[in-house]
């Protein structure tokens, strides 16, 4: 059984979990800021090396972020974000046979992304900025709609829910309806519960435990827990020491129906997912 999904010019089989490597072209991302961008300029050699390593390790998507959503991060001017994202896409587009994803909320970025070689619009604001729905529709690219309570700067101050599963579920179905109304067909939509975005540990764990309910929407699920605070809270470990916890969370999510795992640590995540796939294969189940 396969479940082919089109990302612009490329297709991936989402019946088996795919790994998305994170490339932050920012000065201040929480776990790897400043490595690919220095003095406001992209370090092209470093970006190519990092991308190549992730592709060799088994990433089938690369997620490019030009503006950090870390609480307290400096905001980047939209023109600057367009410029950075455009340069990164130009460097990567013809060199690697992977889907290039743009982690952005900016209609101006969406407007240039398809022609620049992107295959996915990944928006933590679920296309809520003015003009974002229209720009995404016109791009013809698929979109990942993520749930976030509040705004990045303050979302962790006091997150509250009556029923986190119901609230995240209904937010995402409303956003899907808005997309469909704006002319983005369901076949071009992925969903993400937004781990760590306006959520306490108990909320994150409830969402992970019940990921199958989100997968029941029939739309592919993307998740990102890599190095996040929830893993620090569970293990007591600092950001750079959360690899094992990240792999465990990836495998648990894939087992509950996640199709795409967004991670800083591609090789270890691919290995973890191979254990799950081996288990399924041995049971004659696919995946
Ligand atoms: C996510 C994201 C996530 C999606 C970030 C970080 C913060 N996009 N962009 N899902 N997180 N779709 O990597 O810790 O969880 S930025």
| pLDDT in single tens digits along all 287 residues of the chain | 899 999 999 999 999 999 999 999 987 666 666 678 877 788 899 999 999 999 999 999 999 998 877 766 777 889 999 999 999 999 999 899 999 999 999 999 999 999 999 999 999 999 999 999 999 999 999 999 999 999 888 888 889 999 999 999 999 999 999 999 999 999 999 999 999 999 999 999 999 999 999 999 999 999 999 999 999 999 999 999 999 999 999 999 999 999 999 999 999 999 999 999 999 999 998 65
Q: What pLDDT score was predicted for residue 286? A: 66
Is the Cβ atom of 143 under 6 angstroms away from ligand 1? no
Cis peptide before 287 (omega within 30 of 0): yes
Distance CA 239, CA 228 (A): 7
Distance CA 268, CA 247 (A): 7
Q: What pLDDT score was predicted for residue 287? A: 59
Give the position, in ligand 1's atom list, of the atom nearest the Cα of 264: 13
Give the position, in ligand 1's atom list, of the atom nearest the Cα of 194: 15
Q: What pLDDT score was predicted for residue 259? A: 98
Distance CA 202, CA 210 (A): 12
Range of the domain at 57: 4-283
Q: What pLDDT score was predicted for residue 33? A: 61
CATH number of the domain that residue 274 is part of: 3.20.20.20
Q: What pLDDT score was predicted for residue 69? A: 77
Is the Cβ atom of 262 under 6 angstroms away from ligand 1? yes
CB atoms within 10 A of CB 225: 24
Distance CA 268, CA 287 (A): 19
DSSP string of the chain, one letter each residue: ---EEEETTEEEETTS-EEEEEEE-SS--TTTTTSSEETTEE-HHHHHHHHHHHHHHT-SEEEEESS--STTPPP--HHHHHHHHHHHHHHHTTT-SSEEEEE---HHHHHHHTTTT--EEEETTTT-STTHHHHHHHHT--EEEE--SS-TTTTTSS---S-HHHHHHHHHHHHHHHHHHHT--GGGEEEE--TTSS--HHHHHHHHHTHHHHHTTSS-EEEE-TT-HHHHHHH---GGG-HHHHHHHHHHHHHTTEEEEEES-HHHHHHHHHHHHHHHHHTT---
Q: What pLDDT score was predicted for residue 73? A: 72
Distance CA 89, CA 101 (A): 9
Out of 224, 242, 263, mutate this one to test ligand 1's pocket (max ligand atoms within 8 Å of CB): namely 224
Q: What pLDDT score was predicted for residue 29? A: 61
Is the Cβ atom of 144 under 6 angstroms away from ligand 1? yes
Map tokens 């398809």 to a residue.
114
Q: What pLDDT score was predicted for residue 19? A: 98
Nearest one of 87, 106, 189, 184 to 145, comparing CA atoms:
189
Provide the Cα torsion 159, 164, 168, 170; round to 10°.
Answer: -130
Nearest one of 87, 170, 85, 183 to 134, comparing CA atoms:
183
Is the Cβ atom of 192 under 6 angstroms away from ligand 1? yes
Nearest one of 144, 118, 148, 132 to 219, comparing CA atoms:
144
Please give the tally of structural domains in the chain.
1
């Amino acid at each position: 059984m396969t479940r082919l999904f089109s990302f612009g010019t490329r297709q991936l089989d989402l019946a088996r979990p795919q790994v998305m490597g994170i490339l932050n072209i920012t000065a201040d991302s929480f776990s790897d800021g400043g490595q690919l961008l220095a003095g406001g300029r992209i370090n092209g050699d470093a970006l190519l090396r990092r991308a190549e390593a992730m592709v060799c390790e088994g990433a089938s998507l690369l997620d490019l972020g030009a503006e950090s959503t870390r609480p307290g991060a400096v905001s980047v001017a939209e023109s600057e974000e367009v410029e950075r994202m455009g340069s990164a896409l130009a460097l990567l587009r013809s060199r690697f046979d992977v889907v290039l994803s743009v982690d952005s909320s900016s209609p101006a970025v969406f407007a240039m992304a398809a022609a620049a070689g992107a295959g996915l619009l990944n928006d933590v604001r679920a296309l809520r900025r003015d003009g974002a729905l229209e720009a995404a529709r016109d791009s013809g690219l698929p979109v990942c709609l993520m749930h976030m309570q509040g705004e990045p700067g303050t979302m962790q101050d006091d997150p509250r829910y009556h029923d986190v599963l119901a609230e995240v579920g209904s937010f995402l179905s409303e956003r899907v309806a808005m997309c469909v109304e704006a002319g983005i067909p369901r076949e071009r939509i992925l969903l993400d519960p937004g781990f760590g975005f306006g959520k306490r540990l108990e909320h994150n764990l409830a969402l992970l435990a019940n990921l199958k309910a989100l997968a029941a929407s029939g739309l592919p699920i993307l998740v990102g827990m890599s190095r996040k605070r929830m893993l620090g809270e569970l293990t007591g470990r600092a950001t750079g020491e959360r690899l094992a916890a990240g792999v465990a969370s990836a495998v648990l999510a894939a087992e509950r129906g996640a199709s795409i795992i967004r991670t800083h640590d591609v090789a270890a995540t691919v290995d973890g997912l191979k254990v799950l796939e081996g288990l399924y294969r041995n049971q004659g189940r696919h995946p």
